[in-house]
Chain A
Amino acid sequence: MIRVQTEDFDVGAELAALSTDDHSIGGVTSFVGYVRDLAGSASVSAMTLEHYPGMTEKMLGDIEAEAQRRWPLAASLIIHRYGRLVPGDRIVLVACASAHRQASFEACNFLIDWLKTKAPFWKQEQTPDGPRWVDARAGDDIAARRWQPPESSS
């Protein structure tokens, strides 16, 4: 399931809902991303997340479908917020449920790595020097690349 929204989410309630009706589930792995108060050496007072309505949902759906194809998942969930957020706010929740822990750990890792390099979101930080668009990190590309099947790596 995919949700793109401005409002906050309740992690406990979301994880409970993911596994309530399916007792074949042996474990749920989740990742929650937060707004930090520091970017390099600059302090961040707020952050605005912009996205591409339509393409965002399409890309998140594609990424989730790819995870479902690669791992035996009973359920999966991606919630991503946009709009103005402040340090300590939740940005993203990724969760995967499976019969066994290894599939849920790996799929969760995969989802956040691919989301960070493919889903059309952009962060603008408010710093003492004014607003600043966050640059993409090479480390995120490297993290995403480890999930490419060997035959399609280029």
Chain B
Amino acid sequence: MKLLYFAWLRTRTGVGEEEIERPEGVETVQDLVEWLRKRGPEFAEAFANMKVVRAAVNQTYVQLEHPLAEGDEIAFFPPVTGG
């Protein structure tokens, strides 16, 4: 699946976009967040407070319980500030 990071999630993790195989046991967005936190201090810090992180799957806003499928595009970003 494809992972995208925007704004300070991109600058803090140092990653804008990546392709990964769905890790064993990762069934939902929440599972993915927990898996990402274990990757290293940058990811642990970026995903420490999910109240300030929004998630989208296939370009639609989702809650953390949302199930994941192979081939999904999952994006993480802070609350939006356009306009």
Partner of A133, one of B8, B56, B82: B8
Q: Which residues of B contact A140 (CB under 8 A)?
A: 83
A interface residues, tally (CB under 8 Å): 28
Q: Which of B35-78 contact A (CB under 8 A)?
A: 56, 59-61, 75, 77-78
B14 on the interface (CB 8 Å rule)? Answer: no
- Contact at B83–A120, with CB atoms within 8 Å? no
A108 on the interface (CB 8 Å rule)? Answer: no
- Contacts A50-B7, A55-B56; is A121 near B75 (CB within 8 Å)? no
- B7 nearest CB across to chain A (Å): 4
A142 on the interface (CB 8 Å rule)? Answer: no
Partner of B83, one of A50, A54, A119, A133: A119
The secondary-structure label for the interface of chain A is: mixed
A135 on the interface (CB 8 Å rule)? Answer: yes
- Contacts A52-B4, A122-B7; is A92 near B82 (CB within 8 Å)? yes
Q: Which residues of B contact A119 (CB under 8 A)?
A: 80, 82-83
Q: Which residues of A contact B4 (CB under 8 A)?
A: 52
A51 on the interface (CB 8 Å rule)? Answer: yes
- Contact at A124–B7, with CB atoms within 8 Å? yes
A54-B75 Cα distance, complex, nearest whole Å: 12
Interface residues of A (CB under 8 A from B): 33, 49-52, 54-55, 58, 80, 91-92, 112, 115-124, 133-137, 140
A147-B52 Cα distance, complex, nearest whole Å: 23
Q: Which residues of B contact A80 (CB under 8 A)?
A: 82-83
- Contact at A91–B81, with CB atoms within 8 Å? no
- Contact at A122–B80, with CB atoms within 8 Å? yes
- B8 nearest CB across to chain A (Å): 5
- B74 nearest CB across to chain A (Å): 12
- B19 nearest CB across to chain A (Å): 16
- Contacts A50-B7, A55-B56; is A33 near B81 (CB within 8 Å)? no
Q: Which residues of B contact A58 (CB under 8 A)?
A: 59-60
